[in-house]
Amino acid sequence: MKNRLGLSALGCATLVAVLGSRATARAQTIGTLPDPTASTASTTAHAGAGLSVDRIRQSLVTVQVGGRTTGVGVVLDGDGRMLTALSAVGPRDEADVRYASGHVVHVRAMHKDPQLDLALLVPLAGRYTTGLQASEIDPMTVELRTAAFAGAHATLVPVKLKSRIDAHAKDGTLLSGAWELDHAPPAGAPLLDPQGRSLGIAGRACRGAGGDQAPCAAVTVVIPILSIRIFLSHTPATAVAPSPWLGINGVPDSVNGIRGVRVQAVAPRSPAEHSGLHTQTDLIVVADGQPLDTPERLAQIVAKHAVGDVLKLSVFSGGRYRDVSVTLGAPP
């Protein structure tokens, strides 16, 4: 259990001890992005029986602000949120991230620590949950890799530890176990062991022992797993993706033995309105291939999706059936 409480600690299967069962409940309500491996015929295995190189790359995202690539993020395994350096996001706390599949989503830094230069990014539409876990290996004894930019994507490159350094956060907190590398990786880039697990991420810190009288001599270091665990343990309950929204009020109804949910009201500018659902006349009988008989059942099906997902409905109206595709949005 110890090895699964680092970067995977926000994963719904592994963070119950840190964030509580609400993380598990939340994960069951969110859909996933298209699997970037779907078009890949094979993967390239890394020597040492670790994760495949392709699998690691799919766990990385590039952070983009104003169309400019500013850093790298790490998807937290089983969860879909991302960890990066706050310096990669900037003062607006909003950015775009590009997955290895090329899919781009908007994110918001909903938990951050400017002293440790850490940010937890929450995707506002869709999510891809395959990510990295934490490593307990001594980095002085193994070959290491980190991420570098390759156009709009992140790629893996070898890296060596330059030294352990006396580093501290801007508020003077000692970063026990911080390392300086032989070259500075992009902000938020992970340091990986041969098994593809992360030993920390690159962030900005201060060289020296720190204190009120010591100025901050900025240096890029690997923020260690211990500091990341402490950061994640304070994640607020509100740092979750928005719930998907259809935008109707409905009641159980039936016509000639055909049961479903009668649309009583459609919210203005809602996904339901954009898809052409009509009040009173439309009876939603099937959602995602599942028969409906109550509004609660429809709500359960909607909750399994993410913002941006397409919900397929079968609607009975005027004695005829029609298919309706609704792109779910975020609540206003």
The CATH number that applies at residue 59 is 2.40.10.120
Same domain, 226 and 269: no
- Tokens 């009040």 locate to 279
Chain center to CA of 30: 11
Same domain, 23 and 128: yes
Q: Does 243 fall in a domain?
A: no
Per-residue DSSP letter, 151: T
Which CATH number does the domain housing residue 311 bear? 2.30.42.10
Same domain, 91 and 171: yes
Q: Does 28 fall in a domain?
A: yes
pLDDT at 177: 73
Same domain, 71 and 211: yes
* Total structural domains within the chain: 2
Same domain, 173 and 301: no
Q: Does 240 fall in a domain?
A: no
Same domain, 62 and 28: yes
Cα(260)–Cα(145) distance, integer angstroms = 55
Say which residues have a Cβ less than 8 Å from residue 36's Cβ, sequence separation at least 6: 58, 99, 100, 101, 102, 103, 128
Same domain, 176 and 146: yes
Q: Does 54 fall in a domain?
A: yes
Same domain, 211 and 64: yes
Give the sign of the dihedral formed by CA 161, CA 142, CA 229, CA 7: positive
Same domain, 31 and 145: yes
Same domain, 195 and 258: no
Q: Does 146 fall in a domain?
A: yes
Q: Final residue of a domain: which of 233, 258, 290? A: 233
Q: Final residue of a domain: which of 202, 233, 264? A: 233
Query: Domain of 259?
Result: 248-327
> Beta-carbon neighbour count of residue 164 at 10 Å?
15
Q: Does 238 fall in a domain?
A: no
Identify the CA nearest to 6 among candidates 133, 189, 179.
Answer: 133
pLDDT at 98: 94
CB neighbour burial string for 169-184, b if at least 16 within 10 angstroms, e if fewer: bbeebebebbbbbeeb
Would you give per-residue pLDDT tens digits along the chain (332 residues)? 333 333 433 332 222 222 222 233 333 222 233 333 333 333 333 333 456 888 898 899 999 999 999 999 999 988 889 999 999 998 889 999 999 989 999 999 999 999 889 999 999 887 788 898 899 888 888 999 999 988 778 889 999 988 888 888 877 888 777 888 998 999 999 999 999 999 999 998 888 655 555 678 888 999 888 889 999 999 999 999 888 999 999 999 999 999 999 999 999 999 999 999 999 999 999 999 999 999 999 999 998 888 888 999 999 999 999 999 999 998 88
Q: Does 242 fall in a domain?
A: no
Q: Final residue of a domain: which of 233, 267, 297? A: 233
Q: Does 296 fall in a domain?
A: yes
Number of H helices and number of E strands within the chain? 7, 20
Distances, alpha carbon 30 to alpha carbons 12, 24, 33, 314, in Å: 12, 11, 10, 22
User: Using alpha carbons only, what angle is made at residue 193 by residues 44 and 76, rounded to the nearest 5 degrees?
Assistant: 85
Same domain, 143 and 270: no
Same domain, 145 and 294: no
Per-residue DSSP letter, 40: -
